[in-house]
Structure 1
């Protein structure tokens, strides 16, 4: 549908955004029309509304899919060259609205891949956005060579987001991966860069160059997950580094669309598998000292137990120094007086509780 008649031909009365019926919030067609306003200030406000109203907190609404089609259709409009403040990154750096709109498309494409228990949106609305992925991919692909590096980088992020959980588009992975190098990837802010690298490594692509050169420890750790780095000393070091940094505890709370909480589901299991117990125990001591309760989500407890005591517990041979230190760390941080209570059978500490049985304190019925 042509951009000029899209707003007029869409029946906006049957679709809603997050604040449907609120007279103080602009309607979806008003928000979309303002994106192409001659006033740059109104364009900037419309961009905020696109995030906060049409895609509120990552939610998918019945108005989201029509908005996706409109945004994809107007990306090459000269009015999207207006400089605006980006949603992420430095607030003193302005980017073309075109780049910011690609970032919005990326967010929508990522959030529609969330599992049902984490996704905000009715199935029909999510399906409508999923149906838009081929056209969004083609639009982003056309922008990949944009002379503005901000636009080119955001186009790459959108391309990769369109391919998440999309087997019907899997044949595009190779061409998207071919553009995922150098300035295009480096130009993304940290969150979309992590998402891009997680996508590439999950598809089996070699992300060694990113692991070796990226300035951010989370991005380096994501790149270290690539099968190509499974035996890499530098890759193991990247995983241990990100888990032992002062901000690691807070980062545990971060949920990445499609991938979930990568610290507990990806980084920690990979570190347990790859690192020696001597190197792993000091990292766990730091991480578990101030980690929030969510750190105990996942199966890493069982992995850690198998790593430390492969022949069962208690071991036949005398405890090594690393094993003894690990038991002290588990007793203090996992089952100590200040430790969060175990809440369900999915708690990672379930596999560790008999290592220090006197310290295991439960909250609720773990046999249910």
Structure 2
């Protein structure tokens, strides 16, 4: 879990290790992860081969996390001693290579249908209704925090801005997050910032935890030991409203600032303190580079060779010859080979595709 800090792992009484070490050491492997592009077939044939002989595998999380054909072969060979599955790659699971094996237990996706689970759900619902009737508290709303009808239209543009700033940072963050700081200035500071912060956290965490939403984001961040700070203050810059999101990891800090103009559209206005104004687009490329002649031509040439059309091109720098950033909106997703070619250009420090 890249979002679980070492300190939080100790509090939970668990040891945090890399996947290869877990595979080599574990006698029992149980899966507790959502199904995303990164976790699909996390127990592939290659990874199953890394496990110790006699391992037992339990999957009650999501179908598709395990290569079921590869697991069947490992069971046949005796490398895997047994397995228990409640979820399958294809459901309803009318046939499956794991069925009818003496060392495999299969159940038809009943994880939430036990007496214990039903009792816990009933108690949780009763407690939440009681909280609402006695104190007016609303918890676990399906798709939105507690916001009144009057507040919603004013909040929506800031909500969208925060979620996209979070998504921007999340797509560039690949190590454990220690701290998230959000500064609200001007009109943004007069909104219900708790809800806006929830949107920012949801955007930040969703690239790795796809099922995170604005309701669960704050609790998920807390579970992973991520410190979240909010600061509100009057506007003291060029914008009537400004939201600055700073993510701190062991590798350093990354900050993103954005605003909402009178047209209601969210815009990026700074990346790591470098001013650059750009609207969010469905597909974008972010580049951090040295401010040297020739970069733009070489960059555009790579995209042209890849048949990728540039919609908008925003540039910023801290000083002549210093550090520069580029935010480029493109009509179609850039192939990975194009991003790799951009990353290899002279003076380029970092390049990444972004999706919003």
TM-score range, shorter chain: under 0.3
TM-score by length of 1: 0.27
TM-score by length of 2: 0.28
Higher relative contact order (Cα pairs below 8 Å, separated by 6+ residues)? 2
- Greater strand fraction, Structure 1 or Structure 2: 2
- Greater helix fraction, Structure 1 or Structure 2: 1
